[in-house]
Amino acid sequence: MAGGTTARPLRADAERSVRLILEAAERLLSKDPGASMEQIAAEAGVSRTTIHRRFAHRQALIDALALSAARQLAQAVNEGRPTTAPPLVALHRITANVLEVKGAWTFALSLPATPGTEAAGLHEDMARHCVTVLERAREDHLIDAASDLHWLQRVYYALLGETLHGNPEDPVTDPDALAARVVETFLHGARARG
């Protein structure tokens, strides 16, 4: 019984230190992609031995960072209910969720996923969900029936990228407000209302 009670705090502590290391790695590597393991350990408030115990080498840390961010992004997409929510609701919710995650994990999500890895599979699933939402939006006549969905997917991704990186002085920072702007622009462009 005593052995079981001490194992749980160690497990929670290990998870906490990994989370701290990954968050510190994101902060440092987004400013300086060449930051060392020692600098990341210092930023995370853990010892060098702790970071090396959790990650055998720098690439292992980078891979774990990319996977963690991909998992969070996949969860954000899934929480938007791409196959069950009304298409407009799904598009808005997914957009807001993705903007929030991508804003917090810009370095990790800029890394190309290594083919065949779990992270690559998650990115492929998210791309399929995007096309599914667009197909459903087309069925609901939110987009033109003759639209090329893969082109629209690229346009949507470009709008997300511009929202995240286009104007650092933009006063709008709320993910829901940004999502409304992205979805409005995506569905209606610059067309005059009237």
Express each pLDDT in 138-189 by its tens digit.
Answer: 999 999 999 999 999 999 999 999 998 877 777 778 899 999 999 999 999 8
Please, are residues 56 and 102 in contact by the beta-carbon 8 Å criterion? Answer: no
Instruction: Kindly indicate the confidence band of residue 37, based on its pLDDT and cuts at 50, 70 and 90.
Output: very high
Return the minimum-mean-pLDDT range out of 10-14, 46-50, 82-86, 107-111: 10-14
Considering the entire predicted model, what is its pTM? Answer: 0.83
User: CA neighbours within 13 Å on the CB side: how many for 38?
Assistant: 0
Cα–Cα dist 134/108, whole Å: 26
Please, are residues 74 and 126 in contact by the beta-carbon 8 Å criterion? Answer: yes
More confident residue, 129 or 16: 129
* Residue 193: per-residue pLDDT: 62
Coil/strand/helix, residue 130: helix
